[in-house]
Amino acid sequence: MSRSAGRIGWFLVWAVVFCDIGTSVYYVPGILYGTPEHPGAGDRAGFFVVSTLVAFVLLALKYVDVTRRFPAGGGVVSVADQAAGPWWGCLGGQLIMVDYFLTVAISAISGMYYIDSVFSLHGNVLSATLVALGLLAVLNIVGIKESATASLALAVAAAIVDVVVMIAVVINAPPGLWAHFLEESHQLTELSPWQILVGYSGAWLAFSGLESISQLSPAMRELNDTPRKGMLAVVGSVLLTAPFLTFFSTLVLSQDIKDHQSERFISELGGAVGGHWLKLAVVLTASSLLLFASNTAIIGNYHVMMALVRRNFLPSTFGTLSHRFQTPYRAVIFSVAVPALILVFAGGAMDVLGELYAFGLLGAFILTSVGMDVIRWREGERGLKLWVGILTSVLVAIAFAVNLVAKPYATAFGGTIAIFGMGVAWLTHTGRLDAIIAKIPRLRPPQEFESTEASYLTVDRAASALEADGPANVLVASRGATRKIFKEAVDRARARGADRVFVIYVDEVPGLFYPQLAQPTPEGLTVLEAASTAIEAMGIRCVPVWGLSHSAASSVAEAAESLRCDTVVIGATQRTVLWTALRGKFIGDLLRQLPKEIRLIVVG
C-alpha cells in the first residue's frame, strides 16, 4: 500500500502531539509552584520553564530524526535496541511505561480537578477519576477508534482558548503585575546553583508528551517534511503557551488560590482575567484534552507492552487478544490498573504525582538522545549535528541526575518498576515465567499459529507480482471462513478468465499508534488458511493478503485498486451496534472509498 493513503499530514501530527504535550500546561504550573507543605519553585516557576526551552528545542529536533529513521515507530525502544542491543531496548520500554503510567494518572485526575472547578464533584474527584479510567479501559477493550481529526478539533480549541486567556491577562493585567515580574527576575540571583539546577530539572515535566511523535511515524503520510513541519508547529505552540501561562498563573493568581487550588491554575487564571465564561471555556477544553491525553497514554502503553511481548520480554499472556474485538484486553487492563493504584496510593494529590513523574520521562529522554548519538557516531557523523546532539544529551543527563537526588520518591518509584520490569523480562526471556503462567488455566495464552512470511503477502508484494496486461481480479474481504462468499468470488473470477482470487484480512488497530513487529493475529491466519483451502478446493488459486490498519475499509479499498480488481466480495456485516459506534460502519465506509468502477458484492 502506498504510504499516503489514509495517513496524516503535518497539521494532524501537530494536533496529535499537541494533545499530549499541550496538556502539561494545565498541571505543571501548580506542581512547579508547590504548596506550603511541599515547597516548589513558587512565583519563579515560569523562569525555570524558560531555562529548559533551549534543551527542549534541541531534543525536539532529535525526535524528528528518530521519527524518520524508524518508520515502524517504537521511539525509545527502537532507538535503544539499535544503539546498544535488545536489552537496552527493553529498558527503554520499561522507562516509557513508567512515564505512561504517570501520564494516565495525572492527566485523568487533572481533568477531573478542572471539571470540579466549575461543576462541583463534592469531594469525589478521586472516585470520579477511577470511574473515568474504568470507562476508558472498556472503550479500549472494545477498540475505540481514536482519530487524528478528533485530536485536531481538541488541539485547535485548546490552543485558541489558551491564546484568549493570555490576551485577557495582557488587557486586564492587575496593577503591579509587571513590577512583580521584574522583582522575581531580580531575585533569581539570590538562588544557589543547586536550587537553579533543581528548578531546571523539575521544569522538564512541562514537555511530557514530546516522545509521542516518534510513535506516529507509521501513520504519517511521508517521513521527509511531515515530521519536521509537525514538530516545528509543536515547538512553536509550546513556546507560545507553556512559559507565558506559567508566568501569568503564578504571578496573577491570589496567594489563597495558589496555596489551595494548585490543581487548576489555568481555569482560575481564566476566571480571574476573563470572568466565568472564559473559565468555563478553559474547563471544557482542558478537561476534554486531559482525558484524551490519558486515553492516548493508555494506547501508547499497551502498544509498548505488545512490543515487549513480541520481543519475548513480557509473558505472552499479555498479548492475548479478545476473540470478539481483537484487542489486547489484558494489556489494556494492566495499563489502566497500575495508574489507578498509583492514584489511590497518592490519594489523588497532584504534588505527590508530580514528585513521581521525573524518573520515567527523563530516563526515556536520555536513552533516546544518547542512543541517537551512538547511531550517528557509528554512521561516521563527526560534524556539528553530532556535537549538538551530544550537548542535548548532556543537558538532559544533568536534569536526570539532579532529579535522582532531588526527587527521591520518583527515583524509588520509577527505579523499582524498572528493576521489577527487567526482572520479569529476564524470567520471560529464559522461558521460566511463561512456563509458570501456562499452568494457570485462565492466564494460559491460546495456541497461536506460527506466522511465516510465506503464509501471506502484503498488498505491495502481491501487487508487484501482477502481470501488466492480466485480466481484472476479484478480491474477497472477510473476517470469517464462509464458503458462500468464496464460491461467489470463484464464480466471478472464472467469468473474467482469471486463474486466482485474492483474499484479504485486515487487522484493525484502534488508536493512533501502530504495534511494533506487526504480524497477523491468530484469527487472521485462521481465516486466510481456511480461505486458501476452500478456494483451491474449487479449482482456482488463492492469494492470501494481510494488512494492518486503523480502518479496514480504507485498506480494502486501497488493496482493490493496487491489485487491479473490478469486484470486491464481502459478507453481510455482523458488527454489533457498540462496535459500529466506536469503530465505524465497514460497508458504508467501504462504499464511500471504493472507486466507482469497482463493484461491491455483499453476500448474505
The string of pLDDT tens digits covering residues 255-266 is: 888 888 778 889
DSSP 8-state class, residue 227: H
Q: Answer whether 520's CB lies under 8 Å from 453's CB.
A: no
Say how many C-beta atoms besides its own lie within 10 A of residue 499's C-beta. 12
Instruction: Residue 258: give the domain boundaries.
Output: 10-429
Model confidence pLDDT, tens digit, residues 505-545: 887 776 555 555 456 777 778 888 888 888 889 989 899 99
Q: Provide CB contacts within 8 A for 18, sequence distance 6+.
A: 155, 158, 159, 233, 234, 237, 238
Domain count within the chain:
2
Whether 439 maps to a domain, the answer reads no
Q: How much is the pLDDT for 62?
A: 94
Residues 417 and 338: their CA atoms lie apart, in Å, by 11
Which three-class secondary structure state does DSSP give residue 386?
A: helix
Residues 109 and 130: their CA atoms lie apart, in Å, by 8
Q: How much is the pLDDT for 132?
A: 94
Residues 553 and 508: their CA atoms lie apart, in Å, by 10
List the one residue out of 292, 270, 321 whose CA is nearest residue 507.
Answer: 321
Same domain, 415 and 502: no
Same domain, 413 and 477: no
Strand partners, 39: 34
* Residue ranges in 253-328 assigned as alpha helix (H): 255-260, 265-274, 276-310
Whether 448 maps to a domain, the answer reads no
Q: Which of 414, 429, 444 is the last residue of a domain?
A: 429
Model confidence pLDDT, tens digit, residues 357-402: 878 889 999 999 999 999 999 999 988 999 999 999 999 999 999 9
Q: Which of 371, 396, 429 is the last residue of a domain?
A: 429
- Integer-rounded Cα Rg, in Å, for the chain is 26
Q: Answer whether 345's CB lies under 8 Å from 335's CB.
A: no
Model confidence pLDDT, tens digit, residues 166-201: 999 988 877 777 777 787 777 777 778 888 888 888
Q: Which of 397, 429, 461 is the last residue of a domain?
A: 429
DSSP 8-state class, residue 34: B
Which three-class secondary structure state does DSSP give residue 3?
A: coil
Same domain, 420 and 461: no
DSSP 8-state class, residue 39: B
**What are 383-390's contacts with CB under 8 Å, separation 24+?**
388/58, 389/58, 389/62
Whether 384 maps to a domain, the answer reads yes
Same domain, 584 and 483: yes
Whether 132 maps to a domain, the answer reads yes
Whether 445 maps to a domain, the answer reads no
Whether 93 maps to a domain, the answer reads yes
| Structure-model confidence comparison of residues 113 and 521, the more confident one | 113
* Residue ranges in 253-275 assigned as alpha helix (H): 255-260, 265-274
| Structure-model confidence comparison of residues 447 and 108, the more confident one | 108
Q: Answer whether 103's CB lies under 8 Å from 294's CB.
A: yes
pTM of the model: 0.80
Output the domain CATH number for residue 367.
1.20.1740.10
**Does residue 254 register a pLDDT over 60?**
yes
Model confidence pLDDT, tens digit, residues 35-44: 444 455 677 8
Judging by DSSP bridges, how do beta strands 565-571 and 541-549 pair with one another? Answer: unpaired
Same domain, 381 and 498: no
Same domain, 416 and 466: no
Same domain, 305 and 342: yes
Q: Answer whether 215's CB lies under 8 Å from 75's CB.
A: yes
**Does residue 588 register a pLDDT over 80?**
no
**Does residue 51 register a pLDDT over 70?**
yes
> What distance, in Å, lies between the first and last C-alpha atoms of the chain?
29
Same domain, 105 and 251: yes
Q: Answer whether 274's CB lies under 8 Å from 172's CB.
A: yes
Strand partners, 503: 476, 544
Which three-class secondary structure state does DSSP give residue 602?
A: strand
Same domain, 335 and 479: no
Same domain, 542 and 412: no
Confidence of residue 502 (pLDDT cuts 50, 70, 90): very high
Residues 409 and 406: their CA atoms lie apart, in Å, by 9
Confidence of residue 445 (pLDDT cuts 50, 70, 90): low
Q: How much is the pLDDT for 579?
A: 45
For the ranges 191-200, 321-330, 534-543, 592-601, which has the lowest average pLDDT? Answer: 321-330
Q: How much is the pLDDT for 145?
A: 57
Confidence of residue 563 (pLDDT cuts 50, 70, 90): confident
Whether 443 maps to a domain, the answer reads no
Same domain, 329 and 405: yes
The DSSP element (H or E) to which 398 belongs, if any, is: helix 384-406
Q: How much is the pLDDT for 519?
A: 66
Same domain, 463 and 422: no
Output the domain CATH number for residue 479.
3.40.50.620
Whether 235 maps to a domain, the answer reads yes
